[in-house]
Amino acid sequence: MHLLRVSGAFVTQFLFEVRKVSVQRGQRILLSDFDLQVAPHDVVHLVGPNGCGKTSLMRVMAGLVSPASGDVAWCGVALPSGRAAFHQNLAWLGHQVGLKADLTLRENIEFDNALRRQHENPLIDEIMEALAIDHRSTVLARGLSAGQRRRVALARVLLSDAQLWLLDEPFANLDTSGVDFVLSLISEHSAKGGACVFAAHQQLAMKDTPVRRLQWGQGTE
Amino acid sequence: MIGASLQVVSPSLRPFGTFSTVLRRELQLAYRRPADLLNPLFFFAVVTSLFPIAVSPLPDVLALIGPGVIWIAALLAALLPLSTHYAHDYEDGTLEQYLLSGQSLVAICIAKTVALWLVAGLPLVLASLVVSGSYGLAPSTFAVMSITLAGGSYALCALGAVAAALTVGVQRASAMIALLVLPLMVPVLIFGTRAISMAATNLPAKGPIYLVLAVTLLAALLSPIATAAALRISME
């Protein structure tokens, strides 16, 4: 049973549920009857070799692709009916970072912010500094390294104030300190009552935060 | 730690804010890439100046073929930017951000179509006025030509947006876009050229003008809904 939000306080058991989802790529079933319940403070790590369907599953969870069977629900409401509510509480980090090469780093970040919220975010400078990209803010995005682009995408995730983070390979192209930093961001997010589901092929150690690790698949590549 | 504790926010749709945000960014991008603006214009200028060379430089002939040549050249020129209209957003991941923004995708599609028209359609309307002088069209036709071309090019942008959204992720989509869009533009082409010819011979051209604008209105209203649906399908 699913209770809905009452006067701003969240009383339902789960934020986000994946119910009996099957994921298909082409003709091949990659996953069937996959279940996942995510409550506030939860951190879920999807592990698996390349080709096991992590990205396909992430895209289904984000509502970009409809599942072959089963459904994805936000606060007990299955997509696509609660899509706007879900997406306004979702921060997504995909393989492509969604930067316009002809705009500066800051213009890119400000656009994402303007798209998602009405007013200017006072934290933009602070977050850019925390991600060590503030010194590049007037550089056109085409001049950024792959790691820096990843950091911009992470800045966008932080600025979104979303309660659920879906991060697909958030550590790609990041150096060691970058990986540690992202892990600390996830811990902080979880401590604040957020939830995070991320896919990464490597094993990661997180201190203070309990992580649910889901592993499957032998892969094909 | 940045920010206070997190809570689920209730959804708030801001279609007008979304529209103006996306429109502003699209125009900013066009400003940074002036080639996108100039390519259709150069194409239009070259095609319209080749016709007198190939057909005949006689003023009577030029005045006869002028409206048709200008219309066809404008339609083909306005097709050029369509293949990248959504393809760039798809490739760099912006489209994912749009779909997951929680804001109205229809508002985003309208903003992109309006921006496309401002960048690729409106300059052609102005250029056609210059070209029509060299075809010996009477100044009395200028108003009719501007109105019908402005409407017709918006209809093309609106229909083209649907085709561009349907062919997102398809390799070499430009030919397919032309095949999808040009047949649908035939009514606009017929009424548009007819209106200019009628105005050139001092006949009342209101009828065909209204028909062009009616088709434009229909395309402008239905296209964003179809475009948004096509984008969701194309992302699967």
Helix (H) or strand (E) holding A136: none
Report the share of chain B in percent with pLDDT over 90: 63
Predicted local distance difference test score (pLDDT) of residue B4: 55
**What is the spatial distance between Cα B129 and Cα B58, in angstroms, rounded to a whole number?**
20
pLDDT of residue B215: 94
- Tally helices (H) and strands (E) across chain B: 10, 0
For residue B163, give both structure tokens: 């085709």
Average pLDDT estimate for B136-147: 88
pLDDT (mean) for B194-211: 90
Q: Which ipTM was obtained for this model? A: 0.86
Return the residue in B2, B8, B16, B231 with the most chain A beta carbons within 10 A, the one to mutate for interface testing: B8
pLDDT in tens, B163-197: 999 999 888 888 899 999 999 999 999 999 999 98
Please say whether the beta carbons of A111 and B32 come within 8 A.
Answer: no
Phi, psi (rounded to 5 degrees) for B41: -65, -45
pLDDT given for residue B107 in this prediction: 94
User: In Å, how far is B28's CA from the nearest CA of chain A?
Assistant: 8
Binary contact (B103, A84; C-beta < 8 A): yes
B chain contacts of residue A162, beta-carbon cutoff 8 Å: 6
Name the nearest CA neighbour of B149 among B213, B225, B214, B233.
B213
Nearest-Cα residue of chain B relative to residue A12: B8
Tell me, what's the pLDDT at A201? Answer: 79
Pairing of strands A90-93, A164-168: parallel
Tell me the pLDDT band of B147, cut-offs 50, 70 and 90.
very high
Distances in Å between the alpha carbon of B187 and those of A26, A192, B171, B233?
40, 59, 29, 28
CB B235 within 8 A of CB B117: no
Q: For residue B96, which residues of chain A lie inside 8 Å, CB to CB?
A: 64, 92, 94, 96, 98
Best A100, A105, A150, A185 residue to mutate vs chain B (most B CBs within 10 Å):
A100
Residue in chain A closest to B91 (alpha carbons) equals A96
Closest residue of chain B to A4, computed from CA coordinates: B8
By CB atoms closer than 10 A (0-12, 13-18, 19+), residue B212 is buried
Q: What's chain B's average pLDDT? A: 90
The confidence score (pLDDT) of residue A118 equals: 65
Q: Of A160, A142, A116, which Cα lies nearest the Cα of B21? A: A116
Tokens 């990659």, residue located = A30
A115–B10: do the CB atoms touch at under 8 Å? no
Residue in chain A nearest B107 by alpha carbon: A115
Residue A220 φ/ψ, nearest 5 degrees: -125, -10
B25 touching chain A per CB within 8 A: yes
Q: How far is A179 from chain B (nearest CA, A)?
A: 17
Q: Which residues of A touch B100 (CB under 8 A)?
A: 62-64, 87, 90, 92
Contact between B11 and A189 using a beta-carbon 8 Å cutoff: no
Q: What is the pLDDT of residue B5?
A: 67
pLDDT 10s digits, B71-117: 999 999 999 999 889 998 998 889 999 999 888 999 999 999 999 99
Reduce the DSSP state of residue A140 to 3 states and report it: strand
Residue closest to B129 by CA, chosen among B146, B117, B152, B144: B146
CB B145 within 8 A of CB B70: yes
Q: Are A163 and B7 in contact (CB < 8 Å)?
A: yes
Chain A nearest CA to B169, separation (Å): 14
Q: Is the pLDDT of residue B226 over 90?
A: yes
Q: For tokens 């991600």, what's the residue?
A: A131
Distance from A58 to chain B by nearest Cα, in Å? 12
Residue B216 has pLDDT above 90, yes or no: yes
CB contact under 8 A, A118 and B94: no
Chain centre distance of CA B44: 14
pLDDT score recorded for residue A220: 43
pLDDT tens across B28-43, in order?
A: 999 998 888 899 999 9
Chain A: give the shortest CA distance to residue B175, in Å. Answer: 26
Q: What is the value of pTM for the model shown?
A: 0.89
Q: Residues B122-142, buried b or exposed e (16+ Cβ, 10 A)?
A: ebbbebbbebbeebebeeebb
Average model confidence (pLDDT) across chain A: 82
Amino acid at B200: A
**Chain B residues lying within 8 Å of A112, measured CB to CB:** 97
Tell which residue, A80, A73, A48, A25, has the closest CA to residue A168: A48
Suggest the residue from B1, B7, B26 to mutate for an interface test with chain A (most A CBs closer than 10 A).
Answer: B7
User: Is B2's CB within 8 Å of A95's CB?
Assistant: no
Closest chain B C-alpha to A88 CA, distance in angstroms: 5
Asked if A116 lies within 8 A of B103 by C-beta distance, the reply is yes
Is the backbone of residue A50 left (phi > 0), alpha (psi -120 to 50) or beta?
beta
Spatial distance between the Cα atoms of A203 and B32, rounded to a whole number of angstroms: 42
Q: Are residues A85 and B102, on separate chains, in Cβ contact within 8 Å?
A: yes
Residue among B225, B53, B78, B83 at smallest CA distance from B154: B78
Out of A75, A100, A188, name the one closest to residue B29 (CB): A100
Tell me the two tokens of residue B161: 């947006």
Q: Does pLDDT of B2 surpass 50?
A: no
Buried residues in A86-99 as b, exposed as e (16+ CB within 10 A):
bbbbbbbbbebbbb
Q: What is the largest CA-CA distance in chain A?
A: 51
Low-confidence stretches of chain A (pLDDT beneath 70): 1-13, 118, 217-221
